[in-house]
Structure 1
Amino acid sequence: MHIHTLDQWQHSHNFSGDHHEAESKTKIVLLLTVVTMMAEIGAGIVFGSMALLADGWHMATHVAAFGIAVFTYQYARSQANNPRYTFGTGKVSILGGFTSAVVLAVIAFIMALESTTRFFQPQSIQFSEAIYIAILGLVVNIVSALLLDDHHDHHNHEHHDDHDHHSHAHHQDYNLRAAYIHVLADAITSVLAIIALCAGKFLGWIWLDAVMGIVGAVVIAKWSYGLARETGSILVDGGIDNCVKLAITKAIEEDSDNQITDLHVWNVSQNHLSATIALVTHYPQQPQYYKELLQHIPSLSHVLIEVNQCHGEPCLD
């Protein structure tokens, strides 16, 4: 007789995953951003460029956002086995992504407000000096984006199983994605700043400096909304693709005369799903039997099954 120990029956709730590479890259980007932020804010004040100041302000808030990203990686890892968290700390990085989305929204609002003020009250700008600093900011943003984008694309191309069709977004590191969007926001404001400064220097269009600030605010607000919607949906246990539920239903109900009576599926981290399943059947098996029917769905990491016997006439011979 094979005897199972207690450890063999216990469930693991460590769904945080390995984010050491993402954390290391985020730290590098954080350092680059701090240096560039100090240069751009200082130059924006000295040279009087709103577009350059806006870029520097972005980097100041993005420093905070990258700090949040690094903190969530470290916290999720250190608290992964803390029993206070029912399903582990898998959602901590998603919470970090949602927080970054809020920060982006605040940035967009401040940009739009200040740019509108500058549009009606133009200020003198030292264009040549400001252009050099803006180009420096753009180079740093491009380097940072390349660092973060490699890991981002890696997650987007994982999991090609036909039974795992739910959105690619559920396989992303939302914490890293938030950092990536912050870098893109900085990059686009750097580009807009360069365009505005060149137009002001060579064409005399000083007003374009403020207009570009407003355009950048609109783009960043759109990115903020998209990130907040995706991460917020996971935080409130929503947004599960119906393909996953259909795959679960098909796997169980095509076996014997099983009928699912209650099914709940939700994210316990960005890459892991949990499910509770209640079924009724004339030919009951042990719960492990039904779990094995679901092994082809790789995102299902935590499954609880309730088996109820039906005492009526069998549906099958």
Structure 2
Amino acid sequence: MTLTPQASRFTHDHLFLGAAHDENARRTLWVVALTFVMMIGEIAAGYITGSMALLADGFHMATHAGALGIAAAAYSFARRHANNSRFSFGTGKVGDLAGFASAVVLGLVSLGIAGESIVRLFQPTTVAFTEATIIAVVGLAVNVVSVLLLAGNDGHHGHHHDHSHDHGHHHHHDNNLRSAYIHVLADALTSVLAIAALLAGRYLGWVWLDPVIGIVGALVIAKWAYGLMRDSAAVLLDTTDEHVAAEIRELLESTDDVRISDLHVWQVGPQARAAIVSVVAAASVSADAVRERLAPVHELSHLTVEYRNV
């Protein structure tokens, strides 16, 4: 007797991209285009007018355009290779890889801002307040539009699956979207701080405030970069999801007829978790019964049960 028909009932895909994946990709592409156009405009205007302020801001925006480009490319790669069998658990973590890379870029940007600010604190330079303020206001407008685009969908609303479990919504982040959001938010922050410092310098003569605020902005950006790097690295290194692990233990060991001998839980995509559970169970408890006990764990998208009967 062939087992093929029976076996086919238990097959499933490994598409853990998230229900909002395509929408997030489109929003990110719009932000990349907006940032790129602004960057080209500033660099061109800088060369035409001879303004170093415009050139500096244009090349600074180029770093963000590059990082946002990484985020957009990650969405495209994850979708294009979603069903590629070379990726054992799908491409759901490509976004976390892009998020980690973007966090590194953000960290380098914060170091650059801090270094330049410290130099200017001890070696003040002449600032063209009117020109620089106009640049900062235009940059802020672009960043506000970008923030609104990315904030329109936080990408935390489920994921595609073909498993028998129902999946819940426990606020697990799309680190790729988060990295893009932090980049434009960081740019918006620097624009707001720059406007405040420029106005104070122009009307109050507080030239020293510009580099001081630059240092403050660099520290805030560095903090955001660290948080993104920490969270995306945790996913890439398959750290245990303690919340899901605790829920599994509670459901399986609530009675004396099942004990867990080994447990591994890790993330395979936004809102998607995989688990390998090794249990020792009484003769009256079947492997299917163990699986049924774990049905309430909505985050589980891929479950392997190693069953030992005593």
User: TM-score w.r.t. structure 2 length?
Assistant: 0.87
Distance 1:182 1:96, change over 3 A: same
| 8 Å CA contact retained: 2:96, 2:175 | yes
Structure 2 match to 1:232: 233
What are the residue-to-residue correspondences of 1:251-262 with 2, within 5 Å? 251-254=251-254, 257-262=257-262
Distance 1:44 1:124, change over 3 A: farther
In 2, the alpha carbon distance for the partners of 1:26 and 1:297 equals 31
Matched to 2:145, the amino acid is V
Distance 1:224 1:55, change over 3 A: farther
Structure 2 match to 1:220: 221
Partner secondary structure for residue 266 of structure 2: strand
CA displacement, residues 223-272 of structure 1 (integer Å, 9 cap, x when unaligned):
0001101111111011512x322221222233571111111111111311
Question: How far apart are residue 165 of structure 1 and its match?
Answer: 9.2
Question: How far apart are residue 300 of structure 1 and its match?
Answer: 0.3
Distance 1:37 1:239, change over 3 A: farther
Structure 1 match to 2:206: 205
Question: How far apart are residue 43 of structure 1 and its match?
Answer: 6.2
In 1, the alpha carbon distance for the partners of 2:133 and 2:294 equals 58
Structure 2 match to 1:128: 130
Distance 1:127 1:42, change over 3 A: farther
CA RMSD of aligned residues (A): 2.6
Distance 1:194 1:121, change over 3 A: same
In 1, the alpha carbon distance for the partners of 2:212 and 2:46 equals 17
Question: How far apart are residue 56 of structure 1 and its match?
Answer: 4.0
Structure 2 match to 1:314: none
What are the residue-to-residue correspondences of 1:1-317 with 2, within 5 Å? 4-18=5-19, 19-40=21-42, 46-49=50-53, 55-152=57-154, 155=156, 168=171, 171-241=172-242, 243-254=243-254, 257-283=257-283, 285-310=285-310
Number of equivalent positions: 299
| 8 Å CA contact retained: 1:165, 1:244 | no
Matched to 2:190, the amino acid is T
Partner secondary structure for residue 151 of structure 1: coil
Structure 1 match to 2:163: none
| 8 Å CA contact retained: 2:277, 2:305 | yes
Structure 2 match to 1:315: none
Note the residue ranges of structure 1 that are not aligned, 5 or more in a row: 311-317
Identity %: 48
| 8 Å CA contact retained: 1:273, 1:302 | yes
